[in-house]
Amino acid sequence: MRTGKTVLVIGLSVFLAATASAQDFRVTLLGTGDPIPRPDRFGPATLVEVAGQELLFDVGRGAATRLVQMGVSLSGLDATFLTHFHHDHLIGLDDVWMTGWIPPPFGRRSEPMEIWGPTGTANLLSSLEKAFELNTSTRIPDELLPPEGIVLIAHEFDEDGVVYEKDGVKVIAFAVDHGELIKPAYGYRIDYDGRAVVISGDTRFDRNLIAAAKGADLIVHEVALASEELLASSEQFQRIVAHHTTPEEAGIVFAEVNPKLAVYTHFVILSGPTIPEAPLSTLIPRTRKNYDGPLVVGEDLMSFEIGDTISISQAARTR
């Protein structure tokens, strides 16, 4: 059961749900971290529950654990979507795939797992199947597992547009700018019953994202934090931040999109051998230079119900 607690909400009057009710459009931040294996922030992953469908966007470290904590069966995902091919967005895929197939209640997948992503997805999935071939070939006869349940099906795309549509739910992919060498990279917009959610994926400031996000109720956006001292110390850190969105830039995005609620996720928080991470407390003041609207600093297992208003709940975590 999900239990409530106070969450950090800036500039928004919302209902803080003590227990999330069964609604038809809910977004949950499964992982809000970066490549660093943080115990409090797992790898990038977002669950969208809409019209009875379970849609997973990116599959970072610990995604399987977070799904089980949410009471979501790993074998029950209707679709999985990849934004790009950096390892921190993919490293939990084999876990969700394999663990969703084996006998315990959270597994038992008997049909193929379908994954949507940009060009390169099919190659990734075929390589995974090959890498786990010895595991698969022993489990099928030894545990009497259905071979159909371990099949991976890729749905690739290479341009902006609708990539998934079912029972009134429409998922639109749009290209984002994650850097000159980091292509392809995409964000997603999920539309249902006059409501919309946008997931930025990894991106620096991008007008295409702003255009795709117009009219969205909720925007879930990445952010990068680094101190001036750290950036001055290394070209490598400058390059990393240049691939992401600063709080000031995110403020411009939010101001132009004007959502009911903006939420930060995928916190890329950098540090050096002798230079500590920039404090998270600087995030809101820096964003406020360009945006004074509703804003939330996301946490793992924070959920958002998308209705006439947006309600927020925070599930209990086991650490």
Q: What is the set of domains in the chain, with CATH numbers?
A: 9-309 (3.60.15.10)
Give 105's pLDDT tier (boundaries 50, 70, 90): confident
Rounded average pLDDT over 103-129: 96
SS3 label, residue 71: coil
pLDDT of amino acid 13: 38
Residue 266 gets the label, from left (phi > 0), alpha (psi -120 to 50) or beta, of left
197: pLDDT strictly greater than 60: yes
pLDDT of amino acid 12: 45
| Active centre residues (catalytic) | 88
Give 288's pLDDT tier (boundaries 50, 70, 90): very high
Query: pLDDT tens across 217-249, in order?
Result: 999 999 999 989 999 998 999 999 999 999 999
Whole-number Å distance between alpha carbons of 203 and 209: 9
318: pLDDT strictly greater than 50: no
316: pLDDT strictly greater than 80: no
Rounded average pLDDT over 201-207: 97
Query: pLDDT tens across 34-82, in order?
Result: 999 999 999 999 999 999 999 999 999 999 999 999 999 999 999 999 9
Longest dimension (CA), the chain: 61
pLDDT of amino acid 5: 36
pLDDT of amino acid 19: 35
Confirm if 27 and 306 have CB atoms less than 8 A apart.
Answer: yes
List C-alpha distances in Å: 196 to 20, 166, 176, 281, 292. Answer: 19, 15, 18, 29, 21
Give 23's pLDDT tier (boundaries 50, 70, 90): low
190: pLDDT strictly greater than 80: yes
pLDDT of amino acid 315: 78
DSSP letter for each residue of 238-301: HHHHHTS--HHHHHHHHHHH--SEEEEEEEEE---SSSPPPPGGGHHHHHTTT--S-EEE--TT
Rounded average pLDDT over 93-98: 98
17: pLDDT strictly greater than 60: no
Q: Encoding tokens for residue 102?
A: 């084996």
pLDDT of amino acid 217: 98
Give the closest residue to 210 by CA, choosing from 155, 262, 264, 254: 254
Give the closest residue to 250 by CA, choosing from 210, 302, 299: 210
Residue 226 gets the label, from left (phi > 0), alpha (psi -120 to 50) or beta, of beta
Rounded average pLDDT over 169-197: 97
Percent of the chain with pLDDT over 70: 92
Q: Encoding tokens for residue 197?
A: 């959610």
List residues bridging with 80 in a β-sheet.
Answer: 56, 115
Q: What's the mean pLDDT when you consider all of the chain?
A: 92
2: pLDDT strictly greater than 90: no
168: pLDDT strictly greater than 90: yes
172: pLDDT strictly greater than 50: yes
Whole-number Å distance between alpha carbons of 115 and 125: 9
6: pLDDT strictly greater than 60: no
Whole-number Å distance between alpha carbons of 29 and 43: 10
146: pLDDT strictly greater than 60: yes
pLDDT of amino acid 20: 37
Whole-number Å distance between alpha carbons of 95 and 133: 15
Lowest-confidence pick of 84-88, 203-207, 225-229, 303-307: 225-229
22: pLDDT strictly greater than 80: no
